[in-house]
């Protein structure tokens, strides 16, 4: 998964009081979800994605790019935008791939656009479904509530809503407070780097393509401990290092070390919220969570990994 900027990173200083986010909370309420049945096409799409996202029992580079894709389409949003922007497919449809922060997403974007056209579904829904599919395709990955029924947009997202990897922790904190995330949400979302390889941050020989934890094909909490104490071969982004030590988010970050169950639950909640950025709740949408593959056991996959074999 190519990275030129933080996927979605933020923190909130404990001394800063959060604004009233009740309208945002209401925006993401699931009680207004439609009762319609998920179209059968999404089960067919799911089978195709599995064939492309899983190699040797682990999530492969295409799957890991799909995780980055959902962050970059949905995450270019803040609460001031309300029910517009966010998860709207503009990453692919509005020329946003030319932006530096989206470098490296061209191949996965082409794949998802082609797949959406093939099956006659929206690009925005395809990005969200594929991102959540990729998360659970990784051994140990949680199931994220997945709604279908978004409107595609050719209006570019505003600039400056995806943070720079070198930004100060306080700047990232404010950026993500404006998205409606608290310290725990952001500490949990940082863990998506468990399946990340960086290609553009450090291009020195031996560093380009290096993972951000030692098991990038597996969804596990090694990222948290290895960010705090990096082993050889693991690259830690400056933003990750800063946020891991920054006030409230740092406390939550350390709380996920060796705590897979806690992290999975908090990540799924935060990701479910992000996947509805730009939607007016779930009215008129259908729940297609059951079309996603079933989660796999991280311990079983780790035991099956050959010793000393390079990982995808």
Look up the domain containing 235 and give its range: 40-304
Of the chain, the end-to-end C-alpha distance in Å amounts to 11
CATH of the domain at 165: 1.10.520.10
DSSP class per residue in 33-55: ---PPPPTHHHHHHHHHHHHHEE
Within-domain flag for 111: yes
pLDDT attached to residue 70:
98
Q: Classify residue 99: in a domain, yes or no.
A: yes
Alpha-carbon distance values, 50 to 47, 173, 287 (Å)? 5, 35, 19
Positions annotated as catalytic residues are 72
The verdict on residue 295 lying in a domain is yes
Residues 67, 238: Cα–Cα separation, whole Å: 21
Count of domains observed in the chain = 1
Evaluate whether residue 10 is within a structural domain. Answer: no
Identify whether 21 is part of a domain. Answer: no
- List the binding residues: 73, 86, 88, 90, 193-194, 213, 215, 220
- pLDDT tens, the chain, 312 aa long: 444 343 443 333 333 333 444 444 344 433 445 568 999 999 999 999 999 999 999 999 999 999 999 999 999 999 999 999 999 999 999 999 999 999 999 999 999 999 999 999 999 999 999 999 999 999 999 999 999 999 999 999 999 999 889 999 999 988 999 999 999 999 999 999 999 887 777 777 777 788 999 999 999 999 999 999 999 999 999 999 999 999 999 999 999 999 999 999 999 999 999 999 999 999 999 999 999 999 876 554 444 444 334 433
Q: What is the pTM of this model?
A: 0.85
**Cα–Cα distance for residue pair 128/52, rounded to 1 Å:** 16
Cβ neighbour number for residue 284 with a 10 Å cutoff: 15
Which residue numbers belong to the known binding site for heme b? 193
Specify binding-site residues for Ca(2+).
73, 86, 88, 90, 194, 213, 215, 220
Q: Are strands 147-148 and 286-287 parallel, antiparallel or unpaired?
A: antiparallel
Domain annotation covers residue 17:
no
Torsion, Cα 63 124 237 203, to 10 degrees, reads: 70
Q: With respect to residue 310, please indicate whether it lies within any of the assigned structural domains.
A: no
Neighbour count for residue 73 (Cβ, 10 Å): 33
DSSP H/E element including 263: helix 260-274
Closest by CA position to 176, among listed 243, 221, 226, 123: 243
Q: Give domain status of residue 268, yes or no.
A: yes
Q: How confident is the model at residue 22, as a pLDDT? A: 40
């Amino acid at each position: 998964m190519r990275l030129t900027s933080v996927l979605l990173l933020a923190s909130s200083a404990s001394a800063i009081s959060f604004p009233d986010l009740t309208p945002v909370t209401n925006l993401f309420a699931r009680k207004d979800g439609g009762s319609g049945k998920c179209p059968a096409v999404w089960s067919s799409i799911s089978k195709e994605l599995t064939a492309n996202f899983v190699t040797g029992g682990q999530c492969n580079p295409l799957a890991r790019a799909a995780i980055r894709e959902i962050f970059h389409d949905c995450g270019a949003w803040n609460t001031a935008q309300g029910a517009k922007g966010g998860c709207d497919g503009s990453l692919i449809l509005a020329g946003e791939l030319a932006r530096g922060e989206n470098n490296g997403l061209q191949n996965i974007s082409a794949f998802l656009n082609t797949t959406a056209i093939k099956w006659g579904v929206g690009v925005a829904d395809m990005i969200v479904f594929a991102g959540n599919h990729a998360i659970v395709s990784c051994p140990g990955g949680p199931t994220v509530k997945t709604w279908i029924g978004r409107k595609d947009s050719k209006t570019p997202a505003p600039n400056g809503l995806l943070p720079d990897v070198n930004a100060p922790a306080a700047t990232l904190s404010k950026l993500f407070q404006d998205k409606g995330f608290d310290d725990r949400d952001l500490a949990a979302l940082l863990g998506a780097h468990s399946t990340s390889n960086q290609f553009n941050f450090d291009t020195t020989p031996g560093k380009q393509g290096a993972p951000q934890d030692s098991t990038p094909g597996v969804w596990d909490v090694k990222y948290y401990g290895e960010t705090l104490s990096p082993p050889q071969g693991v690259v830690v982004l400056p933003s990750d290092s800063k946020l891991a030590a920054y006030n409230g988010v740092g406390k939550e970050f350390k709380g996920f070390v060796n705590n897979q169950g806690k992290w999975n639950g908090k990540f799924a909640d935060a990701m479910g919220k992000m996947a509805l950025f730009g939607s007016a709740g779930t009215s008129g949408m259908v729940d297609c969570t059951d079309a996603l593959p079933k989660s796999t056991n991280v311990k079983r996959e780790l035991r099956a990994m050959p010793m000393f074999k390079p990982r995808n």
